[in-house]
Structure 1
Amino acid sequence: MDEARSGHAEGVPQERPAKRPRLADSVTAASAGSCEWAQVISAVQPAIVALKVTFVVSFEDEQAAVALGTGFVVDKERGLILTNRHITGVGPVRALAIFDRHEELEVEVVYRDPIHDFGFFKYDVTKLRFTETAEIALNCEDLCVGTEIRVVGNDAGEKLQILSGTIARVDRNVPEFNTVYNDENTFYAGAGAGTSGGSSGSPVLNKSGHAIALNAAGTDGAASAFFLPLDRVCYTLKSLREGLPVQRGTCQASFLFKAFDELMKVGLLESHEHRVRDKKKAATGMLLVDAVLCEQKKLRPGDILLSIEGQICIDFVYLESILDSKVGSSVEVIVCRGGEELTLDVEVLDLHSLIPRSYIELGLDVVHSLGYHAARKTHLPLDSGVYLARPGYVFESLGCDWGSLITTVNGKATPSPEAFVKAIEDIPDRQYFTVHWYDLRDFRHLP
């Protein structure tokens, strides 16, 4: 089972000189050796920070607690730090960034991706006193099999650990987490880097000193580490630098990459394979619809994506670029369903609007709307009820635990937080009332 990691950077490193050698112009990805790796690490070290994040309020399956991990500066002029989504959190947070010279600065979340495991913090660049300003350039083009890498972060809670590895594959489907949240619609890269808690959010560096991926997860009991490619990260960073909203679109479906031989078993025709291979010689498979929201009435699990907007689509980068550019409109999709070609006009929704951004607190109970990830995981409509992120004095007395979906209160349906407020606002103080809910963790229905 794959599991996301986070840990505390408690170690205190030795004092290092403020000035460090910069990367030599002659260092290239092909020529760099162990000596050049030392230059790479020395040059990027001031840009790598330890993050201490307090989740102030329980939100979705994220309990109020302290999370610790790694981040790195990607824009030193604007003070932007890249890290994982499970480090930025999904609810209200307070966070500190501990820089190379042990300086602690408060940081605030400026972006959380609704799907992929990345987010951005921002710090006040004028408050940095001792640490040399530095940033790590992002390069999403150099992520390829055989690339020698270093993962520099706070592995196992030790400040600034350096792990080595070689990219073994770049077409792995997303790791499966035993949580409400799960990434989708992207490849992950894999390497035997042996990362563990605390290294979440670390840059995956090549010999040129560029970040080619973001460390995101690993496998317990094995050396396997999983890295998020930076295509959507670069897209988001560009929008943040330009002060523009980050458009993220969804067709309310998640896709997986499957090999041609596997797709033949669910209806792919040989003519479809030949058509793809004529256009893309190196193709080994295509995208398959894995799951859809209940609101998605056109696409079905098992549909094989043949084209989108008239172009053959066999990778997630092109798929997401199209969806992000079509928010609020629709796309023409051709799929193969049971050996038959179907042309569908699929609506593209704003993905940010499907993620909970506010909550209601009642006697320490915390409830919010049912979000995209919980709805997809349980295959329930988004308006099925409100999600109990933390049981307090009211709902805990009923035996209602976190992760429950409250469907009615006092005989009134609660499809949204607004409906929940209306259902409880007329109940007198100290008055009993009826509640119906589902325990989403094992999907029991309790009266």
Structure 2
Amino acid sequence: MRRSLMSLVWPIISGILLAIVLLNAFPQLLGERTTDDAATPVPDTSAVRAIAERTDTAERAPEVIEAAPLDRSQGPASYASAVNKAAPAVVNIYSSRMVERSEHPLMSDPFFQQFFGKDMPQRQRMLSSLGSGVIVSTEGYVLTNNHVINDADEIQVALRDGRETLAKVVGTDPESDLAVLKIPSDDLPVIQLSDSEQVAIGDVSLAIGNPFGVGQTVTMGIISATGRNHLGLNAYEDFIQTDAAINPGNSGGALVNAEGALVGINTAIFSRSGGSQGIGFAIPANLAHQVLDQIVAHGRVIRGWLGIDVQAMTPDLASSFGLKTLTGVVIASVVPDGPGDKADLQPGDVLMSIDGEPIVDAREAMADIAEISPGTQLPITIVRDGEKREITLTAGERPEASEVQ
């Protein structure tokens, strides 16, 4: 019996010893992980399955179109070619005028004036100002702002190549703040004019001029807006707005596009400090071209005129006139013997349309009237005492600004 048990024990002991040896050599046989396996845990897919189950029953995420990476290699690395094309045609303008003033500040007091009358001692003083201009033709015509050369006794033009010459005034248009000068036409650089109607918000713009008299300077920005009006700067406003830095001395200079073509004539800035704050305005090249052509041809700008002053329609005014819309403008006054007076227009009439075109904005209406040739027969629609009336009016020629006032 003992012998039979011993024959069974040794195989069992041998099997246990063999199992211990195998488990030490191959621990994965017990389901344990090695050190390397523990460093890269297997993700738990239960959460993913749960999300998948929820999205099956709820609204799926919207499909979006992802833009391709921005390719900046298409943009110019430099605008030097545009500047080299336009800058030679941008000139510095120095204007001066003589003014007379009293020898002593007290002489401006009426109390002291009564002792001297008209024989008060006077002295002359030279006032000078600076600005910019743009050569726009081989004949030597230069566009600039009217306020740059207004009342000047002498105007000196300095070209980029160092040449200096005196300029004469061909004509001015205070209502658009433009002026045309002429300089000797001897191998002059000329700028190219763009179609300013094609200007788009976001286009690169370069302002070239003579800020603060430091010399020709180029600043860069974009076109911030077009068609700006109601600024109270000019009678006729259709400004291009840019954030290219424009400072005193830039007036009359060029606003050009990325190809060096003239987009507008820099005119004004909106600023609380007197320096550039990123809001500058330029007269569109198309308007400047029209003014140039008329001044060269006629010495002045010829505009259509109805001989009336108008004010914008407001909800209160519309209600008082019994109108259900804000279309139209209210005639505030009628110039005696003007076209409107001859057509029997009266203050308080509501001008609804001109030549079949409804009127929405007073300034836009004035600009449209200005483009009408004097002598044109215009059918107009007015509302008087709550009744619509059709009247035919003959457009006249707008008088000079001083005469209008």
User: Where do 1:99-138 residues align within 5 Å?
Assistant: 99-126=159-186, 133-138=189-194
Partner residue, 1:6:
none
Does the 8 A contact of 1:267 with 1:339 survive in 2? no
The separation in 1 between residues aligned to 2:224 and 2:383, in whole angstroms, is 31
Measured on the aligned residues, the alpha-carbon RMSD in Å equals 3.8
Partner residue, 1:350:
397
Q: Which moved more, 1:237-246 or 1:43-52?
A: 237-246
The separation in 1 between residues aligned to 2:395 and 2:126, in whole angstroms, is 33
Partner residue, 1:175:
231
The separation in 2 between residues aligned to 1:228 and 1:160, in whole angstroms, is 20
Are positions 1:46 and 2:88 aligned together?
A: yes
Q: Which amino acid aligns with 1:44?
A: A
From 238, 250, 271, the counterpart of 1:187: 238
Are positions 1:73 and 2:135 aligned together?
A: yes
Post-superposition offset of 1:210: 1.6
The separation in 1 between residues aligned to 2:194 and 2:383, in whole angstroms, is 37
Are positions 1:197 and 2:257 aligned together?
A: no
Post-superposition offset of 1:71: 0.4
Post-superposition offset of 1:267: 2.1
Residues 168/35 of structure 1: CA separation in 2 closer, same or farther (3 Å cut): same
The separation in 2 between residues aligned to 1:320 and 1:87, in whole angstroms, is 24
Post-superposition offset of 1:86: 0.8
Residues 112/290 of structure 1: CA separation in 2 closer, same or farther (3 Å cut): farther
Residues 101/264 of structure 1: CA separation in 2 closer, same or farther (3 Å cut): same
The separation in 2 between residues aligned to 1:306 and 1:108, in whole angstroms, is 44
User: Where do 1:27-426 residues align within 5 Å?
Assistant: 33-35=75-77, 37-55=79-97, 65-75=127-137, 77-89=138-150, 91=151, 93-126=153-186, 133-176=189-232, 182-221=233-272, 222-239=277-294, 246-253=301-308, 264=315, 266-267=317-318, 288=329, 295=336, 298=345, 303=350, 306-312=352-358, 320=367, 322-328=369-375, 331-335=378-382, 341-346=388-393, 348-351=395-398, 353-356=399-402, 371-372=403-404, 375=405
The separation in 2 between residues aligned to 1:338 and 1:88, in whole angstroms, is 48
Residues 321/134 of structure 1: CA separation in 2 closer, same or farther (3 Å cut): same
Post-superposition offset of 1:105: 0.8
Aligned residues between the structures = 296
The separation in 2 between residues aligned to 1:55 and 1:339, in whole angstroms, is 55
Give the match's secondary structure for 1:232: helix
Q: Which amino acid aligns with 2:130?
A: L
Give the TM-score, by structure 2 length.
0.61
Post-superposition offset of 1:265: 5.2
Post-superposition offset of 1:134: 2.8
Give the match's secondary structure for 2:79: helix
The separation in 1 between residues aligned to 2:315 and 2:89, in whole angstroms, is 48
| Runs of at least 5 residues in structure 1 that lack an aligned partner in the other structure | 1-30, 177-181, 274-285, 357-370, 376-447
| Runs of at least 5 residues in structure 2 that lack an aligned partner in the other structure | 1-72, 101-124
Partner residue, 2:11:
none
Post-superposition offset of 1:199: 0.5
Deviations 1:308-329 (A, max 9, x none): 2223456877864653443255
Q: Which moved more, 1:315-324 or 1:106-115?
A: 315-324
Q: Which amino acid aligns with 1:311?
A: E
Post-superposition offset of 1:155: 1.8
Does the 8 A contact of 2:267 with 2:283 survive in 1? yes
Does the 8 A contact of 2:308 with 2:332 survive in 1? yes
The separation in 1 between residues aligned to 2:375 and 2:207, in whole angstroms, is 39
Deviations 1:390-413 (A, max 9, x none): xxxxxxxxxxxxxxxxxxxxxxxx
Residues 49/85 of structure 1: CA separation in 2 closer, same or farther (3 Å cut): same
Deviations 1:153-198 (A, max 9, x none): 112322111222222222322423xxxxx51233222233342210
Q: State the structure with more CA Rg.
A: 2
Deviations 1:187-236 (A, max 9, x none): 22223334221010111111122212221111223332122223332223
The separation in 2 between residues aligned to 1:32 and 1:240, in whole angstroms, is 42
Residues 205/112 of structure 1: CA separation in 2 closer, same or farther (3 Å cut): same
The separation in 2 between residues aligned to 1:301 and 1:103, in whole angstroms, is 57
Q: Which amino acid aligns with 1:323?
A: A
Q: Which amino acid aligns with 2:84?
A: S
Post-superposition offset of 1:65: 3.1
The separation in 1 between residues aligned to 2:244 and 2:331, in whole angstroms, is 29
Deviations 1:297-346 (A, max 9, x none): 5375895x643222345687786465344325553333568986554555
Give the match's secondary structure for 1:65: strand
Partner residue, 1:434:
none
